[in-house]
Structure 1
Amino acid sequence: MITIRGEQRPSKVAWSTPLLFPLSTLSLEGARKIVVNIANENTINEFTIRLLEAIDGIPLAITLVATLLRDGEDSASLWTRWSMDSTQIINVGDDRQSSLDCSIALSVNSSRMTKNPETRLLLAALSLLPDGFPKGDTLESLQNCLGISSIHTILQTLHTVALVQVNNPDTSRIQMLSPIRLFCQHFLAQEIADALPKIVNHYLDILKAAGYNWENSVNYYKITPEVRNMHTIFQKLFLAEIQKDDLAEFIKALDYLTNWSTYIGYYSKDTIQLALIKTEHNCFLHANCLFSIASLYLWEDDYIHAIEHFKEAANIFQETKAFLLQARALRLLGETLCMMSELDKGEIVLRTSLDLYTAENGIQVTQPQADVKFGLGSLYLARGQLQDAERYLTNALEDYEKTQDLIGQAKATGALAQIHKFCDNLIKAEEFANQALEIAKKANYALGEGASLQGLGQIYLCTDRIMDAHQALEKALLIFKHRKQFTDQLLVVEMLGKVYIQLDQLSAAETLLKPYHSMDSNTINPGYVLTTLGWLHTCGDRLDKAKHYLNAALQLHQKFKNRLGQANVFAHLGIMYL
């Protein structure tokens, strides 16, 4: 058997046909088996698995890791060293078969690579992108931003020496294996320094063009696969020296990136925390970063930290006379207070936000003002002030239509469906909920789809269409799980539990509900789930358990000042005692 590096075969050899495919990287299970064979079963633990995931299935790397484990190094120690020194630790000798760095260096320093300096520049640029770069027409934009001559020729060279994967049928992206990326970042320092600002400018252009325009499908499909790349690039950027004049542009782009990240469910605070350090001596830019990290806390249902950072941002915006940004921070602060059941405080803050917008914009209709009206309408809906809620939500919907904001239209239409449900106008409620679902789909607004399906599930329950409710709520739960929306999951799970109880599937209901009743009750209120668990045990004639869950639910609703939740528990306790 002859083994070769890369894809080019020696000439003047009568190769049998068809040619065998090159060996691919190994699966995690395949890597685990190699470690067990070389070391033993006892070496497999969480640190070993992390290491195997990090080395991306490279056979040599797996073999060397297994050898180090066999020779007595602890996997926790090995993982700690990998976190600091990456590929340099996978070394049991000084030749290409016993050192991962030596093996990679053979390719990086090969004659094909040294013929054209642009090859190393492209290699360095790709090493900065953990999710690789898309094939096709967008390669021209990468060529232009790096200022290289023929990207396709260079890529073929990189592929020939086995440094990038170009023809992988499982992906539409050009990718590097993790150990090769880490090697390049360590040993190609000058090329990395040259490539970083050029790649940053490439992604800046994409973010500026997209802005906050999520419902545009072109923007959505262009940005979504690049979000992790953008975070990695911005983290490198904020760790480097930045010209004072450029910092404002980068912080604005980071605001766009944060909004896109939360929209698709990527909740990483690492980039913003670096930006907070970088902007310590610029109050205005620092406030923008505080707002961004507060938004992330809000999406993670960490309301306490969200409130703290929104308040700090709003105060700085007021001091710097950035009144529109102050209004924006106050709007989200008000909405967060409402989520904490602080409705009176939330109303005051939202009205202050609306007054600021009105003072700055006059009679001009803007999407941010529509957002505040939507927030007030939702607040009045939670209070049961249905006429006030309908007035504000209808006004918000009209403004969203004027500003062509599909996401806003989906939210407002869904909230109006809830009002019709509370008024027992179920036909109208279902009509509005279906409209909201269609608008959300048109806008690529997954959370809106989930909310609309949840609303439809409630309506179906009210009309005894149990199986329709089950189907809608299951779809909603899948969306909220995918987007890590725990508060929304709680609401859907509580309703699904009731569906199972109505279907007399008590064990299925308990299996569904139990994982949620123990969620962190400092920021999320699982009271309704506990109430449903109490009702489940009441139906099963397990009254001691029922009383335990209902009393726990009551304490949570009291903690979160949720009076409707408390009333609901008292009703269930009354039925239980009866």
Structure 2
Amino acid sequence: MILTGIHGSRPARIAILGPGGYGKTTLANAALTHPQVQEQFGGARYFVACESVFSSSALLVELAKTLGILDGGSDASWSHIHAVLSSKDSIICLDNFESPWEQPGDMRHSVEKLLSRITALNSVTLLITMRGTMRPGQTLWTKPTLAPLKTLSQDAAREIWEEIEQNYDAAAEELIKAVDYVPLAVSLLAHLAQATLPTLLLKEWNQNQTKFIQMGQTHKLSNLEYSIQLSIDSGRMRANPPARNLLGILSMLPDGIHTEQLGKFEEILVDMDILSNLRTLQQCSLVHVIGERYQTHPIIRHFCNQQEVISSKYKDSLQNFYINLASSNSSEAQPRYHAEMVLEINNTKAMLFDLLKSNYGNNSKLVEAIITFTNFHGGIGDHSNKLISQTVETLQQRPSDTSVLIRCLQAWGRLYYYASDIENAKAKLQEVERLCLSSPYNNSSLHAEVLTDLSELYQSQGALNEAEVSCQKALELHKIANDVLGQANDHLGLGDIFLSLSRLDEAEASYREALKFHKIANDVLGQANDHSGLGDMYSRLSRLDEAEASYKEALKFHKIANDILGQANDHKGLGHMYLRLSKLDEAEASYKEALKLHKIANSVLGQANDHSGLGDMFLRLSRLNEAEASYKEALKFHKIANSVLGQANDHKGFGDMYLRLSKLDEAEASYKEALKFHRIANNVLGQGSDLHGLGKVHMERSQLEHARSMFEKALAMHKKAHAPVWQHLDQEQLNIVLSKMGKATQK
């Protein structure tokens, strides 16, 4: 585009803008030495280094030197320069033009006036390179103007590396990614790789960050930190000293400052004109707006953090804000405050990590904040465990309260559970239970919480007997500790277990007991989960009006508690209920809303169940291709989530679909696979529906004795599961079989 501008406009005036290290000088040099430019201008190609030029008079001298005017004893007057430049066509590059231009008031005006004199000459083609995003005034720049330079693509960065050194490998790829494909950094690293293996360079980067990316010279093209320092020490930055503090603040925040948070940061950073400082940082290309966030480049961030650019006053204010934010109970937060917690999640994580590595004065407050924050970010689908694992490692290396270590390990186990990493979750929680039992401090409530978590994990794997034992133990310990909220959660867990075991009277009693205790504890999230459990139970009993009311009540409370996962599960429950009522439009809308929310919550199991529900709905609509695709997606996710019950239901769905297609062999195989998994999950209702499906397959084959056996077994299972609708269907099919066999039908 630069060459097009040079040849297309007579004469061209082109400004190459961008941050330091992005290749502005290299690009200008490439243009000056291009064969077409050499042919057009011959020896009248001039490169003027302006890095040490800070006034119009100094610029005049530097230009005169480059033109060779001073060699014969002439002075650097404009008349001499004008005469030389007017004598023939020439191209001039004023490199690092921000140095003379970024001066106060009249000095800048004087520099712009000199530049306009140069560009008024039709014989002169002009290039300037400048750090920042603004072009000097008083000059008509060639249209369209060049956008500020950006980082390289990965492929382009690799090409630069391989042009310098051929040892590009996985470590080299990680290196160029770490420096975010900044041209200067990529080039310097490739040159360093001529003497040092990329694996060793990567290790050095992890230890020293930007410090080692240099080739031994203090020059902007051979020393990354020197190049960054030039931008930070530029005239515009010197004219607005508070901007340096804001740069330090942004360097502590990997996600920068969201536009919605500008008001909040004005409260935190008292006496700072944030908008004015942001404007300065943007003009210097030290900050960019990326997706509604003001962010600084990772390389600049590393450099500023090493240099301690931020003042202690602002650093303390920032740390206090984030540690208080991390300590907040998300389920009790107002929607606006909860949204702020989500917006700031990566910044909070980074701040807590930095505090953990520092000598923060209130260590117990910090660890409590980390535990609360870990439970929060795991609950909204962020399953990264680096912060909590580092916290555990830190606690294990110094004398600390065993109960605090237990709670950290418990939060880590929950994080694995949220991520559907069941084996690691189980191992971590069992480790925590052993610590509880061996600890000299008999903390009944803490031990009970761990047992509650283990019960939930066992239940997800279909190990319902183990789940019940753990939950009952937890309930006894919570009673000893007189822990109302703990007892409420245990009753809720028992309700879920009894529902899975088809002990519906006990399930209802447990849910109602849970609701009573959650109301006493004024726990909104707990009440939401109780109503959701009652919805599941009423749905099983075909009391669909009560089910709908319960799910809607649960949804109301989950919204108040800002629980995305809970809302997703409520929509899924409503989807199941609408499907049974043959309200297929409402069912589809509910399943799709559930799927959207489960994706936001990063819940693999939730997404699996939604796809399974959509499969059932598409099957009802005879949209068999979509049904098959949904069941396949559900099975894929249920396998990832290691959900035995989910896989069982998916295979049952495939069986129903193949039966509709009269693919009897495939249907039989699917029902048998479903039956196998439902038995492992100890799910009586599921086993009954699988046997019912097998009965239909045998009926289609006219294998009446086999069909009769299957329907009788299905009926027995459904009686055990207290499923009246299914019992009616079993009896109906059984009577058809008996009639065909010439036997008396049953009531």
TM-score range, shorter chain: 0.7 to 0.9
Q: Determine which of 277, 281, 284 is the counterpart of 1:161.
A: 284
- Pairing 1:181–2:301 present: yes
Aligned partner of 2:220 in structure 1 is 96
Greater alpha carbon shift after TM alignment, 18-27 vs 265-274: 18-27
- After superposition, residues 395-410 of structure 1 pair within 5 angstroms as 395-410=513-528
Q: Determine which of 219, 241, 251 is the counterpart of 1:127.
A: 251
Other structure's SS at 2:442 match: coil
* 1:394-441 CA-partner distances (Å, limit 9, x unpaired): 232233344443322222212212222222221222222223223333
Greater alpha carbon shift after TM alignment, 226-235 vs 67-76: 67-76
Q: CA deviation at 1:270?
A: 0.5
Whole-Å separation in 1 of the counterparts to 2:299 and 2:279: 20
- After superposition, residues 519-534 of structure 1 pair within 5 angstroms as 519=637, 520=639, 523-525=642-644, 526-534=647-655
Q: Determine which of 541, 545, 548 is the counterpart of 1:427.
A: 545
The structure-2 alpha-carbon separation of the partners of 1:316 and 1:274, relative to structure 1 and needing over 3 Å to count, comes to same
Q: Is the 8 A contact 1:39 1:69 kept in 2?
A: no
The structure-2 alpha-carbon separation of the partners of 1:416 and 1:559, relative to structure 1 and needing over 3 Å to count, comes to closer
* 1:511-533 CA-partner distances (Å, limit 9, x unpaired): 22324434546833223223322
Other structure's SS at 1:137 match: helix
Aligned partner of 2:486 in structure 1 is 368
Aligned partner of 1:331 in structure 2 is 452
* 1:354-410 CA-partner distances (Å, limit 9, x unpaired): 233333337xxx433322221122222222122222222123223334444332222
- After superposition, residues 146-157 of structure 1 pair within 5 angstroms as 155-157=278-280
* 1:176-216 CA-partner distances (Å, limit 9, x unpaired): 1222212323x4158699976664333122234x2354452
The structure-2 alpha-carbon separation of the partners of 1:67 and 1:306, relative to structure 1 and needing over 3 Å to count, comes to closer
Aligned partner of 1:276 in structure 2 is 392
The structure that has the greater radius of gyration is: 2
Q: CA deviation at 1:476?
A: 1.0
**Residue identity opposite 1:343 in structure 2:** L
Aligned partner of 1:417 in structure 2 is 535
Q: Determine which of 339, 346, 354 is the counterpart of 1:221.
A: 339
Other structure's SS at 1:136 match: helix
* 1:66-88 CA-partner distances (Å, limit 9, x unpaired): 98899999999998886666556
- Pairing 1:203–2:322 present: yes
Whole-Å separation in 2 of the counterparts to 1:196 and 1:323: 40
Q: CA deviation at 1:153?
A: 5.8
- After superposition, residues 118-517 of structure 1 pair within 5 angstroms as 120-134=244-258, 135-143=261-269, 155-165=278-288, 168=289, 170-171=291-292, 173-185=293-305, 187-188=306-307, 199-208=318-327, 210-241=328-359, 246-280=362-396, 281-282=399-400, 283-317=402-436, 319=439, 320-361=441-482, 366-517=484-635
The structure-2 alpha-carbon separation of the partners of 1:522 and 1:475, relative to structure 1 and needing over 3 Å to count, comes to closer
- Pairing 1:106–2:225 present: no
After TM superposition, the score normalised by the length of structure 2 is 0.65
**Residue identity opposite 2:422 in structure 1:** Y
The structure-2 alpha-carbon separation of the partners of 1:61 and 1:417, relative to structure 1 and needing over 3 Å to count, comes to farther
Whole-Å separation in 2 of the counterparts to 1:323 and 1:449: 32
The RMSD of aligned alpha carbons is 4.1
Aligned partner of 2:109 in structure 1 is 11
The structure-2 alpha-carbon separation of the partners of 1:80 and 1:22, relative to structure 1 and needing over 3 Å to count, comes to farther
Greater alpha carbon shift after TM alignment, 194-203 vs 442-451: 194-203
Q: Which runs of 5+ in 1 are unaligned?
A: none
Q: Is the 8 A contact 2:281 2:287 kept in 1?
A: yes
After TM superposition, the score normalised by the length of structure 1 is 0.82
Q: Determine which of 149, 153, 164 is the counterpart of 1:31.
A: 153
Q: Which runs of 5+ in 2 are unaligned?
A: 1-13, 20-97, 103-107, 113-137, 700-747
The structure-2 alpha-carbon separation of the partners of 1:155 and 1:478, relative to structure 1 and needing over 3 Å to count, comes to closer
Q: Is the 8 A contact 1:461 1:469 kept in 2?
A: yes
Q: Is the 8 A contact 1:34 1:66 kept in 2?
A: no
Q: Is the 8 A contact 2:568 2:593 kept in 1?
A: yes
**Residue identity opposite 1:162 in structure 2:** S
Whole-Å separation in 2 of the counterparts to 1:418 and 1:567: 18
Other structure's SS at 1:11 match: helix
Count the aligned residue pairs. Answer: 562
Greater alpha carbon shift after TM alignment, 324-333 vs 101-110: 101-110
Q: CA deviation at 1:254?
A: 0.8
**Residue identity opposite 1:474 in structure 2:** K
Whole-Å separation in 2 of the counterparts to 1:463 and 1:481: 26
* 1:493-513 CA-partner distances (Å, limit 9, x unpaired): 222112222222222222223
**Residue identity opposite 1:163 in structure 2:** L
The structure-2 alpha-carbon separation of the partners of 1:297 and 1:5, relative to structure 1 and needing over 3 Å to count, comes to closer
Whole-Å separation in 1 of the counterparts to 2:214 and 2:680: 56
* 1:546-572 CA-partner distances (Å, limit 9, x unpaired): 445444444444444445444443433
Whole-Å separation in 1 of the counterparts to 2:546 and 2:629: 34
Greater alpha carbon shift after TM alignment, 255-264 vs 567-576: 567-576
Q: Is the 8 A contact 2:678 2:686 kept in 1?
A: yes
Whole-Å separation in 2 of the counterparts to 1:24 and 1:62: 18
* 1:55-106 CA-partner distances (Å, limit 9, x unpaired): 5575x45984998899999999998886666556877896435664443221
The structure-2 alpha-carbon separation of the partners of 1:33 and 1:242, relative to structure 1 and needing over 3 Å to count, comes to closer
Q: Is the 8 A contact 1:133 1:174 kept in 2?
A: yes
